Amino acid sequence: MIAWKKPAAAALLLTLAACAQPAPPVTQTVMDPYANAAGGALYQGDLAGGTLGAEATPQYFNNTVGNTVLFAANQTALTSEARTILARQAQWLNTHTGFNAVVQGHAEETGTREYNLALGARRAGAVQEYLIAQGVSPDRVRTLSFGKERPREVCSDEACYAQNRRAVTVVSATGAGS
């Protein structure tokens, strides 16, 4: 976090506006982070990623769109929260056609290795199906399962398991378009 004095903050606003490519979020992201604090305004934004009109980056997709949806134990059905995130993913993919996606399905550590590979595949498949239904071309979305091999959190409690029952959409530039 960086503290800015008011005059500097005003200059920053100009700079950001000047740099911004057609993308609209600049106004939002620059205005939003300023808050009154004793001795001056406090910058609370993220200068490094996603705010400089760089929507067309995997970082923006991961951090702002949201690359991960979670599942209930032993379930592969998409929750309404997951569908909200996937709708944003689909919108981003439909806008940024120079990117393809690999959906990685995961499972928690309880369960056998083989079943969890199949369970992760089914979760990835559910995400793929949703993205395609939202208009993403089928040939841009592949799936993959890691089963229980790549947990995000490593404890052996429900708090971690809930984070590990997931599907992660990984986008990468195809080298054309974008």
**Which residues sit at the interface with another protein, rule CB under 8 A?**
74, 76, 109-115, 117-119, 121-126, 128-129, 142-146, 149-156
Check the CA dihedral 154-159-163-165 and report its sign: positive
Rank residues 21 and 75 by Cβ distance to another protein and give the closer one: 75
CA distance 105 to 103: 6
CA distances to 74, 90, 105, 149 from 66, in Å: 23, 11, 15, 22
- Element at 8 (helix H, strand E): helix 6-19
Q: Closest distance between another protein and the C-beta of residue 104, in Å?
A: 10
Rank residues 85 and 124 by Cβ distance to another protein and give the closer one: 124
Q: Closest distance between another protein and the C-beta of residue 94, in Å?
A: 21
Residue 69 per-residue DSSP state: E
Q: Where are the alpha helices (DSSP H) in 66-165?
A: 80-95, 113-133, 158-164
Rank residues 23 and 144 by Cβ distance to another protein and give the closer one: 144
Q: Closest distance between another protein and the C-beta of residue 2, in Å?
A: 31
Q: Closest distance between another protein and the C-beta of residue 154, in Å?
A: 4
Rank residues 56 and 69 by Cβ distance to another protein and give the closer one: 69
